[in-house]
Copies of this chain bind each other. A is one copy, B any other.
Amino acid sequence: MVNVAILGFGTVGSGVAEVLTMNRELIDKRTAQQVRLKYILDVRDFPDSPYKGCFVKDFAVIENDPEVDIVVETIGGATVALDFTTRALKAGKSVVSSNKELVATHGYELLQLAKANGVSYLFEASVGGGIPVLRPLTNCLAGNEVEQVCGILNGTTNYILTRMIRAGLSFEQALKEAQDNGYAERDPSADIEGHDACRKICILAALAFGEHIYPEQVPTQGITAITLADVDYANSCGYKIKLLGRTLRMENGKVCAYVAPHLVSGSDPLAGVEDVFNAVKITGNAVGDTMFYGRGAGKLPTASAVVGDIVDIAKDVKTRKCNEWGPGAKDLVQAPDELAFRWYVRVNAAVDEVRKACGEVALLARGGAPAREIAFLTEAMTQAQLEQKLAGLDMLSAIRVLA
């Protein structure tokens, strides 16, 4: 018997209970164990829940019950969740988490703590929801030097961009629709400002390159400044605008990591990832490009990833499943400032002014463009070079083109 306690009965936590119940027979078969839900910790009451016998309000009950093998942390945030995760690991229980904020900010110390206590700390659900990506990255691709990880890591922003591209909605209209459909929070800033994607690229970078990358080291730009004009111009030259989290191994041994919108070519498989779907492209020195695609959020998809981790641990609770990375360093991470990109640029200027600044660029066209609105793609250059070239012009948009 393997006993599981779920911390937090919100969307993901209740999904985990549902999947453990719905697929109990096959989970027992695959683990050669009886995997049972023993506790659910939540401050609220759920008198009508089918799990009503499981609810507790005091974490100490779980912490002090030697029968609990696996604690599932789906509380979110990095305060209470940090406290409970720390105590669970110290109590010799393995922890499975969907909490990207906690892993991105405290992953190193929690992995060390898990190691010291001979237990596992797994968090497949923290990146890409139900998409298997962390385990393939660390296991299946373990024969590769990872060169780059690049992904559509946030479903809310991808939904908004898809609706702008396909239905011609403005950013504000698309955001409202996403909120009405339950794809965006009332306070959408963590999504639309890119912070959610930032936490996920931190986790991917740590697993790919072996050192903790902290969110504050990762320049992060969201999609709030993207206009329909930009979407139209991108479309006119065969590109889609996507919010990407990206991390690359640099020749100097540093890691480049950032979150920003990009123009993605229609021939790149990332361009076809629409609505709330996520995709993560991993490039290795042997395998080349691989891509992992699926639902990046939602109750059952995220629960699928959590239960996958539970199964992994339950197969053999005594053997620690190890993820591990180093503590990171202040000067390990570099901004994308030194990378050369082609840029999509939209300015308020006359053609002559643009030509004077940038030479013979091919102009893009869209219907209904106001006078003096000029858009074009540049040659490859760094951000500093771009800013220098366009110094005298009234810049409306500048978005990187993914090579």
Chain A residues at the B interface, C-beta cutoff of 8 Å: 15, 19-20, 22-23, 26-27, 30, 124, 130-132, 135-136, 139-145, 267, 269, 272-274, 284-295, 298, 300-301, 303-308, 310-312, 319
Contact = CB atoms under 8 A, between A and B. Distances in A.
Contact of A124 (B132, B140, B290): B140
Number of identical monomers bound together in the oligomeric complex: 2
A288 B293 contact: no
Ranked 10 nearest A-B pairs via Cβ: A143-B307, A132-B140, A290-B294, A132-B136, A286-B304, A287-B304, A130-B287, A291-B293, A142-B311, A140-B308
A19 B304 contact: no
A26 to B, nearest CB: 6
Given A286-B19, A286-B300, A132 B143 contact: no
A131 B144 CA distance: 12
28 contacts: A19-B286, A23-B145, A23-B286, A124-B140, A130-B290, A131-B287, A132-B132, A132-B290, A140-B305, A140-B308, A141-B308, A143-B307, A143-B310, A144-B304, A269-B272, A272-B272, A284-B304, A286-B301, A287-B294, A287-B300, A287-B301, A288-B301, A289-B294, A291-B291, A291-B292, A291-B293, A292-B292, A292-B293
Contacts of A124: 140
Nearest to A26: B145
Contact of A291 (B30, B294, B311): B294
B300 A295 contact: no
Nearest to A135: B140
A244 to B, nearest CB: 17
A143 B303 contact: yes
Contacts of A144: 19, 23, 304, 307
Nearest to A322: B315
A316 B3 CA distance: 26
Nearest to A20: B143
A306 B26 CA distance: 28
A144 to B, nearest CB: 6
A115 B27 CA distance: 21
A312 B136 CA distance: 11
A274 B267 CA distance: 9
Contacts of A30: 142
Contacts of A267: 274
A286 B200 CA distance: 22
A196 B341 CA distance: 41
Nearest to A136: B132
A287 B307 CA distance: 11
Residue from A30, A290, A291 having most chain B Cβ neighbours under 10 A? A290
Contacts of A19: 143-144, 286
B130 A288 contact: yes
A22 B286 CA distance: 9
A274 B293 CA distance: 16
A400 B174 CA distance: 36
A19 B310 CA distance: 32
Residue from A26, A274, A292, A303 having most chain B Cβ neighbours under 10 A? A292
Contacts of A131: 287, 290
A320 B21 CA distance: 29
Contacts of A285: 22-23
A370 to B, nearest CB: 34
Contact of A140 (B136, B142, B272): B136
Contact of A135 (B20, B27, B135, B293): B135
